[in-house]
């Protein structure tokens, strides 16, 4: 498939808000948000982050990611990472992840990239591992039902 990335635009928000299919998926992407994701919640995340990026296919928005931490010649942390359900398992996530890693290196001279993933998000964990990310820390969190869940922090050198 032919994918492209570009900076997020205001008209993209409604499309991105439709990607999480349930409260669990939204929690994986944006734990502070309340399901269903609204444009206001998403805009709040965008306002507090850098390089909010959409992934497109045939000019349709099919993915989203940004940096919630960035430092020159240091670490960039990818957040709000999501791909539209119809495009999962087709290389879209890998393309977006590679774009964000390149962006971190070019824009911030990042020496490494980090991404965090909840233990119950198996498909994302496998994607990150296939792309060379290695776990370095496990943090106990509580999910939206107040059950213990593990947040696995992963890192890759650029």
pLDDT per residue as tens digits for the range 87-122: 999 999 999 999 999 999 999 999 999 999 999 999
- Spell out the residues 6+ positions from residue 44 whose beta carbon is closer than 8 angstroms to its own: none
Q: In which band, very low, low, confident or very high, does the pLDDT at 15 lie, cut at 50, 70 and 90? A: very high
Quickly list DSSP for 71-96. -TTSEEEEEEEEE-GGGTTTTHHHHH
Distances (CA, A) of 99 to 30, 52, 92, 126, 138: 20, 12, 11, 18, 26
In the chain, where the domains are located: 3-115
Q: In which band, very low, low, confident or very high, does the pLDDT at 124 lie, cut at 50, 70 and 90? A: very high
pLDDT for 1 equals 85
Average pLDDT of 20-34? Answer: 96
pLDDT for 31 equals 96
Class of domain 3-115: alpha beta
Closest Cα partner for 111 from 79, 80, 81, 77?
77
- Spell out the residues 6+ positions from residue 127 whose beta carbon is closer than 8 angstroms to its own: 93, 94, 97
């Amino acid at each position: 498939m032919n994918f492209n990335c570009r900076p997020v635009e205001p008209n993209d928000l409604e499309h991105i808000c439709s990607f999480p299919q349930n409260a669990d998926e939204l929690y994986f992407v944006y734990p502070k948000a309340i399901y269903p994701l609204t444009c206001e919640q998403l805009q709040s995340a965008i306002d507090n982050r850098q390089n909010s990026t959409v992934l497109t296919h045939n000019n349709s928005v099919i993915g989203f990611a940004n940096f919630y931490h960035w430092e020159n010649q240091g670490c960039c942390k990818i957040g709000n990472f999501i791909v539209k359900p119809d495009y999962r398992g087709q290389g879209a996530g890998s393309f977006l992840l590679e774009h964000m890693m390149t962006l971190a290196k070019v824009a911030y001279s990042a020496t490494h990239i980090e991404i965090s993933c909840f233990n119950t998000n198996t498909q994302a964990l496998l994607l990150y591992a296939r792309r060379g990310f290695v776990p370095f820390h496990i943090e106990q969190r509580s999910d939206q039902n107040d059950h213990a869940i593990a947040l696995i922090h992963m890192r890759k050198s650029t």
